[in-house]
Chains A and B, each alone.
Chain A
Amino acid sequence: MAKEINSLKCETSVSLPNSCCEQETADAVPRDSVLSSLRNDTAMEHDRRTFLKLASVPCLAACVTSCLGGWSGFAVDAAPLPAEDSRFIVEARFYEKLPYKKTRCKLCPRECVIDDRERGYCGVRENRGGNYYTLVYSRVCAAHVDPIEKKPFFHFCPGTMAFSVATAGCNVNCKMCQNWDISQSRPEQVRSTYLPPKDLATVAQQYRCPSIAYTYSEPVVFCEYVLDSAEAGHALGIKSAVVSGGFIQQEPLKKLCQSVDAIKVDLKAFSEKYYKEVVNGELKPVLDALVTMRKVGMWNEIVYLVVPTLNDSDSEFRALAQWVRSNLGVDVPLHFSRFYPQYLLKNLPPTPLETLERAKAIADAEGLHYVYLGNIPGHPAESTYCPKCRRTLVGRIGFTVTEMHLRKGKCEYCQQPIPGVWL
């Protein structure tokens, strides 16, 4: 008997977005999925994994939704959008043309050389007749209202919400990626909605978010959208914060630094070996990017996901802390984050608490002022302390700010200036 194609069709093939990236881990994280909530009326089956994700939306999400209830700023398509939807296809800004209709991408250090009708490593940029296009301009596959602490940014508008968006695609392939179902997919393989820059800024404003966060997947691969959205946001008084692996070339990075207000870099490890074997990338360009950010005055924070046995040695923690102190300064926040088994690294256990505390102790001993531990709700190292008087400046439990003792960027007790972007 011929198998019926219709009976094989299943909408669950389309990934719903996770609400957090690898560092914004999935352990009982309060989350609000704007896209998901708007999708509830679509006739969509859910697989077990998706069902569990949706069923786990906890109290904060409900709170946020109730505050904002009734608004429906944009519709959600009931099916994956076609690859050929011209609204999303915009000529890339960073590439060069080569003979025989080939192109070389100049966005990330990988510098993919791409034949006609082919895509680069990220899967979201395509050569068409010798011209190079991004396929994800305004093509948002995840939109959530998140606490800015979830990114995590601890010195950037603490205690506020960020309107957080992503498109499909990523220029690396981390074996522990928590959002692989969007980051490792092509745009036509995930559900998306059309959200042009001005509309994004308007939606963020309507949701009373002082910032837009570009996160979950890899904003480098939707760089053009970030640049234009940041401009649209600024016109409405909304800041832009980027959550990135920092695997980007210098020219687009400098453009980015001119446009956005903060960049958090996921520094995956402090060894080329790890970058080659676990990330499918390179460390040096990421370090170069961090130095450039610092030089141009961009506010940046660093997250280091500690993966048991792979990047958790004392010597690596120490080398990292020394490099940060020497090249970026002692005031750059460094977050050591707990790993949970994901994607292609399910054979490793979650990071032991002792390992994280050892990392913090080493970085503290090297003189860094703001060393945090992440994904351990309730741990004292989630809070910000004054480096001078040692009193609590921003108290946190999970992503919730419980107390704030900053006044105009200074410790309210001893007037010590605290670096960051404060509202």
Chain B
Amino acid sequence: MQALYSTDSPLAAWKKVVRPGEVVGLKVNGLAGRGASTNVLLVEMICERLREAGVPQNNIVIWDRLNADLESAGFRVTTRQDRVRCLGNDTLGYEDELAIYGSVGSRLSRTLTQLCDSVINLPVLKDHGIAGVTIALKNLFGAIHNPNKYHLNVGDPYVADLNMLPPIRQKVRLNICDALTAQYEGGPSYMPQWAWPYNGLLLSLDPVALDSVGWQILERKRAEKGMKSLAALGRTPNYIATAADAQHRLGTNDLSQIGQVEV
């Protein structure tokens, strides 16, 4: 965090993420249960840092698509006002009106639109059997009522279009990809035979850059294991390039322009 925000202390970095009084959403990925979901301990540590940065615990909301997903990932669902809240979209439901951009027309989660002022996106680093990979951009599928409609054509341009919706584009401040355990094949379900301890966290303000780097990590692991590339399997996640194109400008996918700082 210090390196990312060029600060002298972790506290100063976290204070740059959120503004005083904001309700901060932590968008985790709990679909695959404990094996390949956002690590509960990591989320607890982030909550602790946010509290140290002055965010009251009742202004922190851990959320994902379903309460059941959260519970299967090891989170405890609670809406109590005196502690960190943790809830699926099934608690507050979705907006009545459609949010539309390009190929996407969806009802957004009220947790995102009404409860949270800002969002820290906490995806995992995983292969995806339909969309190629699922990292930061695709994690926001958990913010809409109809993600099943957007897996056609390897998710392109749906994933990019979804991230253009103003509540997503404006509220997501930071992406922290949990790559403590990553999975290079068989996703999105947890497949232990294809998971490995990458033992890393990938932080970025730019979700496109994060996805580009994460995709390369998965490709390298596939090659190391003698597996075909995603392109050879017809699963190139072209939505990442679409997210970087002139229409979207959500970030850059040019690896030569992405500065990678290892700490």
> Which residues of A come within 8 Å of B, CB atoms?
1-5, 8-10, 12-15, 47, 49, 83-84, 100-102, 113, 115-123, 173, 180, 184-186, 188-189, 280, 343-344
Write the nearest CB–CB distance from A141 to chain B, whole angstroms. 14
Pairs across A and B, CB under 8 Å, 15 listed:
A3-B23, A3-B114, A5-B85, A5-B91, A8-B110, A13-B94, A14-B93, A83-B66, A113-B129, A117-B189, A118-B188, A119-B148, A121-B148, A121-B149, A188-B90
> Dominant SS at the A interface?
loop
Within 8 A of A (CB), among B15-62: 21, 23, 31-33, 56, 58-59
A100-B191 contact in complex given A117-B31, A121-B148, C-beta closer than 8 Å: yes
A12-B96 contact in complex given A3-B23, A121-B149, C-beta closer than 8 Å: yes
Inter-chain contacts of B149 with A (CB < 8 A): 121, 123, 173, 184, 280
Docked CA distance A344–B105 (Å):
7
A116-B189 contact in complex given A13-B94, A47-B96, A121-B151, C-beta closer than 8 Å: yes
**Identity of the chain A residue whose Cβ is nearest the Cβ of B79 in the assembled complex:** A5
Inter-chain contacts of A83 with B (CB < 8 A): 66, 68, 90
Q: Please tell me if the beta carbons of B79 and A13 are within 8 angstroms of each other in the complex.
A: no
Inter-chain contacts of A344 with B (CB < 8 A): 98, 100, 105
Write the nearest CB–CB distance from A354 to chain B, whole angstroms. 30
Write the nearest CB–CB distance from B160 to chain A, whole angstroms. 17
Inter-chain contacts of A113 with B (CB < 8 A): 129-130
Q: Please tell me if the beta carbons of B189 and A5 are within 8 angstroms of each other in the complex.
A: no
Write the nearest CB–CB distance from A11 to chain B, whole angstroms. 9
Q: Please tell me if the beta carbons of A10 and B93 are within 8 angstroms of each other in the complex.
A: yes
Write the nearest CB–CB distance from A101 to chain B, whole angstroms. 7
Inter-chain contacts of A116 with B (CB < 8 A): 189
Docked CA distance A102–B129 (Å):
11
A280-B152 contact in complex given A8-B110, A118-B188, C-beta closer than 8 Å: yes
Docked CA distance A253–B77 (Å):
43
Inter-chain contacts of A13 with B (CB < 8 A): 92-96, 110
A9-B151 contact in complex given A2-B56, A2-B58, A185-B145, C-beta closer than 8 Å: no
Question: Does any Cβ of A come within 8 Å of B205's Cβ?
Answer: no
Q: Please tell me if the beta carbons of B189 and A118 are within 8 angstroms of each other in the complex.
A: yes
